[in-house]
């Protein structure tokens, strides 16, 4: 029997295909793999960075509000409890926990505790602070003419002046103390000015159009929203002082 005839050429071809060596990957294929890996790592880094940024935004714009509001409520309770414990008659001004409460209906922010100072440490506690530097605010309780200049955050940390842009000329601003309600009326607004413009805090705020001494209130905060590039300023002038009655009935402007 012819063995060569039995195996035939077909068997030889199959053996050749099975045993043929696989070509090694060339330089182009290896380079493509490195690029794909780098793109994958970069994508994961972007996703991680996005998550971190998102968490930071949540912390800045939501959680700091929660923490600040809790602290402000505790401080407010301490102030009102202190008022209630005092004997009848005018109480001595105590700046340790707060000097009173700001009520601005147009801002829809409820009552805002007012404390001494405008440092980040003070304002981050969800309160408004009256200026002691670079210009010293004139407290309405002193009875002297001057400018009761205040500051508060517009976003984060309670954001007590977030809606300051809702204020219009003629709107009321009321400051509540243990013994009196000081009722002011908005008469001028400056939507944007330099953060270094201390003239707006002056005893006679000439930039507001006033040229004579009087009893003024000034609200300041950062602008635009979520930045601290400029300052938004609202000026009010005292129109009357109402005595606090036993029921602490608010003035008609707050009804």
Q: List the catalytic residues.
A: 222
**CA nearest neighbour of 195 among 154, 254, 240:** 154
Distance CA 40, CA 33 (A): 11
Strand, coil or helix: what is 183? strand
Sole residue written with tokens 């003629």? 170
Strand, coil or helix: what is 128? strand
| Pairing verdict, β 215-223 and 146-151 | parallel
95 Cβ contact partners less than 8 Å away, ≥ 6 residues apart: 115, 116
Sole residue written with tokens 């300051």? 164
Cβ count near 122 (within 10 Å)? 17
Overall residue count recorded for the chain in this entry: 255
Tokens encoding 144: 């002297």
């Amino acid at each position: 029997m012819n063995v060569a005839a039995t195996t035939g050429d077909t068997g030889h071809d199959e053996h050749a295909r099975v045993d043929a060596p696989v070509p090694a990957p060339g330089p182009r294929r290896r380079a493509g793999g490195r690029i794909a890996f780098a793109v994958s790592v970069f994508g994961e880094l972007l996703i991680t960075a996005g998550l971190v940024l998102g968490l930071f935004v949540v912390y800045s714009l939501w959680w700091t509000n929660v923490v600040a509001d809790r602290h402000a409520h505790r401080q407010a309770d301490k102030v009102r409890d202190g008022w209630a414990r005092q004997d009848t008659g005018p109480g001595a001004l105590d700046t340790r926990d707060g000097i009173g409460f700001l009520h601005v209906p147009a801002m829809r922010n409820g009552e805002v505790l007012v404390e001494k100072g405008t440092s980040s440490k003070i304002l981050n506690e969800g309160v408004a602070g009256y200026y002691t530097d670079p210009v010293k605010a004139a407290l309405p309780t002193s009875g002297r003419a001057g400018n009761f200049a205040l500051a508060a955050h517009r976003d984060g940390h309670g954001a007590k002046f977030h809606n300051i842009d809702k204020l219009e000329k003629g709107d009321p601003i009321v400051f509540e103390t243990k013994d009196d309600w000081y009722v002011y009326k908005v008469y001028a607004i400056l939507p944007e000015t330099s953060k270094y413009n201390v003239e707006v805090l002056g005893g006679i705020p000439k930039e507001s159009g006033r040229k004579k001494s009087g009893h003024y209130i000034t609200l300041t905060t950062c602008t635009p929203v979520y930045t601290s590039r400029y300052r938004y300023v609202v000026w009010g002038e005292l129109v009357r002082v109402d005595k606090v009655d036993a029921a602490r009935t608010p003035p008609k402007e707050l009804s």
